[in-house]
Structure 1
Amino acid sequence: MDEKSNVPQRIYPSTPLEQPVAASEQQQALLQPAPPTYSQATGATPTTAPDAAHIVVITPGAPLAYGPAPVDIQCPYCHNYTRTRLRFKPTSRTHLIALLLCLFQLYCFVCLPYCIGSCMNTAHYCGLCDRYLGTYVRE
């Protein structure tokens, strides 16, 4: 027998297969390359916009005046399309009607102006975020 046959064979190499890599190189290896630009993908030449180009963004705004009924609107606070929620607030006119009912001794009907929405101003609030939007004033 010869000497070489008695020596155990190594399965693994003596040096490691993986080389140490810096953290920045690892991140670069994990990132995907950026896609080509439109002009590179189509082979077209890029055009430049004129210097005086203006961008105009048109958004639907609040109605000029709120009414006595709920309104569909885009809320300026939460930017969602929603229907306004109404809250009625008594005015001096409401109190005057109640006082007149007291003077005519119609005590059973004194609370009536406070229960009827047409005797009070209507405040509109956003249906989702509940922020104040505007008021419809009765004249």
Structure 2
Amino acid sequence: MERVYPATPLEAPKGSGEVESPPEHQQLLTPPAPPSYDQATGTPAETTGPAPTTTTTHHTVVVVPSSPYGPEPMDVQCPHCHNYARTRISYKPNSRTHLIALILCLFQLYCCVCLPYCISSCMNANHYCGMCDRYLGTYNRK
């Protein structure tokens, strides 16, 4: 059996000193040479003195809402009973409510002292599930 090997590039006669270029198909198969370190990093080969350093700091501000609940009843999926229902709201007085009542007392408006305890916009809103009546969260008035 005779084996057939790929052809080798043709060489010129030994006395001429010239070598013929390889065939085109072999030139396409050879990968290009990789770039030098200086070309790859983008730095010049010779540097004089210390290289200038630049530092940049990036600040990320993350605002986390205190509660996903608002001042009005809302439709949510209860994490306890997994039902989709409208929340029930119960209002609870906060420090703002007491402060308004104190200011009304200082102005001797004793008949109006109970008004901040009757107005929902002066109190925090506690949200409860409409189906299982479990506590879900609070909307804090500021």
The count of aligned residue pairs is 76
Q: Deviations over 1:11-52 (max 9, x none)?
A: xxxxxxxxxxxxxxxxxxxxxxxxxxxxxxxxxxxxxxxxxx
TM-score using structure 1 length? 0.53
Determine the C-alpha separation between the residues in 2 that align with 1:76 and 1:85.
Answer: 15
Matched, 1:94 2:84: no
Determine the C-alpha separation between the residues in 2 that align with 1:84 and 1:99.
Answer: 32
Matched, 1:121 2:116: no
Where structure 2 has 5 or more consecutive residues not aligned to the other structure, the ranges are 1-66
- Runs in 1 of length 4+ with deviation above 4 angstroms? none
| Seq. identity, % | 75
Residue 124 of structure 1 deviates from its aligned partner by 0.3
Determine the C-alpha separation between the residues in 2 that align with 1:77 and 1:111.
Answer: 36
Determine the C-alpha separation between the residues in 2 that align with 1:106 and 1:65.
Answer: 37
Equivalent of residue 134 in structure 2, options 124, 131, 134: 131
Counterpart of 1:133, as a letter, is L
Determine the C-alpha separation between the residues in 1 that align with 2:141 and 2:95.
Answer: 11
Where structure 1 has 5 or more consecutive residues not aligned to the other structure, the ranges are 1-63
Q: Secondary structure at the match of 2:133?
A: coil
Determine the C-alpha separation between the residues in 2 that align with 1:119 and 1:125.
Answer: 19
Residue 123 of structure 1 deviates from its aligned partner by 0.5
Residue 128 of structure 1 deviates from its aligned partner by 1.1
Residue 71 of structure 1 deviates from its aligned partner by 0.7
Q: Deviations over 1:57-79 (max 9, x none)?
A: xxxxxxx6110000101111011
Determine the C-alpha separation between the residues in 2 that align with 1:65 and 1:137.
Answer: 11
Equivalent of residue 72 in structure 1, options 72, 75, 80: 75
CA RMSD, Structure 1 to Structure 2 (Å)? 0.9
1:1-139 to structure 2, matched below 5 A, reads 65-139=68-142
Larger radius of gyration: 2
TM-score using structure 2 length? 0.52
Determine the C-alpha separation between the residues in 2 that align with 1:120 and 1:69.
Answer: 12
Determine the C-alpha separation between the residues in 1 that align with 2:84 and 2:94.
Answer: 30
Determine the C-alpha separation between the residues in 2 that align with 1:125 and 1:106.
Answer: 35
